[in-house]
Amino acid sequence: MRFVKNEWIKIWAQKNAWIMLVLVLLGVAAILGISKYYATDQSTPELREEANKKWLADYNAQLSIPELSEQDLQYLNDEILMTEYRIANDLPAIDAMGFHDVFDILLTFILTVVGIFTMVVAASIVSNEFGTGTIKMLLTRPAARWKILLSKLVASLLYGLALFAVSVVVALAGSYILFNTGEAVTLSVVNGQVVEQVVETHFVQTIVLNAASIFMTTLFAFMLGTIFGSSTLAVSLSLVLLLMGSTVTMFLAKYEFAKYIWFANDLTQFQPGMMAVIPDLTLNFAIVVNIVYAIIFLAVSFTYFIRRDVTA
Cα within 13 Å of Cα(302), Cβ side: 15
Please tell me the predicted confidence (pLDDT) of residue 312: 46
Neighbours of 83 (CB within 10 A): 25
Please tell me the predicted confidence (pLDDT) of residue 183: 66
H-helix or E-strand containing 185?
A: strand 185-190
Q: What is the pLDDT of residues 138-180, one digit of tens each?
A: 666 667 888 888 989 999 999 999 999 999 999 999 998 888 7
Counted residue by residue, the chain has a size of 312
126, 145 in Cβ contact below 8 A?
no
Give the predicted TM-score (pTM) of the model: 0.82
The full set of domain ranges for the chain reads 2-39+97-307
d(CA 84, CA 86): 5
d(CA 144, CA 100): 48
d(CA 18, CA 10): 12
Please tell me the predicted confidence (pLDDT) of residue 200: 64
How would you classify residue 191: left for phi > 0, otherwise alpha for psi between -120 and 50, otherwise beta?
left
219, 241 in Cβ contact below 8 A?
no
Of 126, 292, 152, the closest CA to residue 224 belongs to: 126
Please tell me the predicted confidence (pLDDT) of residue 311: 57
Please tell me the predicted confidence (pLDDT) of residue 293: 94
Of 148, 146, 121, the closest CA to residue 13 belongs to: 121
H-helix or E-strand containing 186?
A: strand 185-190
Three-state SS at 191: coil
Please tell me the predicted confidence (pLDDT) of residue 219: 92
**Identity (one letter) of the amino acid at 88?**
A
Of 280, 272, 281, 132, the closest CA to residue 205 belongs to: 272
Extract the residue ranges of the chain whose pLDDT is less than 50: 312
Please tell me the predicted confidence (pLDDT) of residue 291: 95
d(CA 179, CA 102): 8
**Cβ-based neighbours of 294, under 8 Å, separated by 6 or more:** 215, 216, 219
Please tell me the predicted confidence (pLDDT) of residue 283: 87
Q: Please state the three-class secondary structure of 125-158 as a single string.
A: HHHHHHHHCCHHHHHCCCCCHHHHHHHHHHHHHH
